[in-house]
Structure 1
């Protein structure tokens, strides 16, 4: 069911952008429309450059300190996405990109998506973490079960085609 919706979006997006060009072009004229498109592309490229470097620095510092990337990193990533959307020609992408620059919209997106983010600790066994308006803390009720090698053993299945002792008769 998702594929028809995705294909509809892929077809409708350029049509919406073309309609946006026509509407804005009629309202402000050709040169002002081109100026707006070029201006938002320049703003978007500056935003990508500045926020992208800031995002990389934040990721690097979080990694050096051994902390899980949290809200600040996601906030910077949304600003980089806003820059990409502003860089793309079109007024629908510009509206979405400008909306992502508004802190209220980013907070709303974080409140909707932040609960679903699961971070796996790369230094140790997999753990489930949750956000409590602060650093990520381990969620003891999460779906991840941490077992040692002695806690779980499985004998090889002799009927498996991947078994070394299985003979294939043809």
Structure 2
């Protein structure tokens, strides 16, 4: 949580510092034109890639399959387009990485792996809680519990 807060506060400072550095190197007007061009490019790529992903998702649903890959790609396209619309060069780099099909597929694979690991941790935690409380899911193996009474004789 603290890392995200630090990044949230540090990111605009880094973006501004890089804009000033680039503006000092190539001039103010070319820097502004570059920022505007990346915003226009982001909106065009967002529209084109989003429509293509929507068509692939529609084709999968027509075949009776779930379009989970297309949904994740659509999410990354939206994030990438939004990052390109933001003024700054660091956000543009991350936005382009989200919009390039090769890197987007790598990000989707990594995201699916993280989601699967998180689901496995949650499932293990839920199974542990259920075993402790004596409740189990239907079809799940019941824990080995020996029930008995004892008396202590001194």
- 2:40 aligned to which of 32, 42, 61: 42
Superposition deviation, residue 13 in structure 1: 1.1
**RMSD (CA atoms):** 2.9
Aligned match of 2:61: 63
- 2:31 aligned to which of 25, 30, 33: 33
Aligned match of 2:99: 101
Whether the 8 Å CA contact 2:84–2:95 is kept in 1: the answer is yes
The 1-side partners of 2:32 and 2:16 are apart by 13
Whether the 8 Å CA contact 1:82–1:100 is kept in 2: the answer is yes
Q: Which of these two proteins has the greater Rg computed from alpha carbons?
A: 2
Superposition deviation, residue 25 in structure 1: 0.3
The 1-side partners of 2:137 and 2:43 are apart by 44
SS in 2 for 1:63: helix
Superposition deviation, residue 72 in structure 1: 4.3
Alignment size in residue pairs: 124
The 2-side partners of 1:71 and 1:63 are apart by 12
Gaps of at least 5 residues in structure 2 are 120-125, 128-135, 141-154
Superposition deviation, residue 6 in structure 1: 1.6
Structure with more relative contact order (C-alpha pairs < 8 Å, separation 6 or more) = 2
Q: 1:78–1:38: structure 2 CA closer, same or farther, 3 Å change rule?
A: same
The range that moved more, 94-103 or 84-93, is 94-103
Q: 1:46–1:103: structure 2 CA closer, same or farther, 3 Å change rule?
A: closer
Whether the 8 Å CA contact 2:84–2:91 is kept in 1: the answer is yes
Matches within 5 A, 1:57-96: 57-96=55-94
The 1-side partners of 2:57 and 2:101 are apart by 20
TM-score by length of 1: 0.60
Aligned match of 2:19: 21
Aligned match of 1:155: none
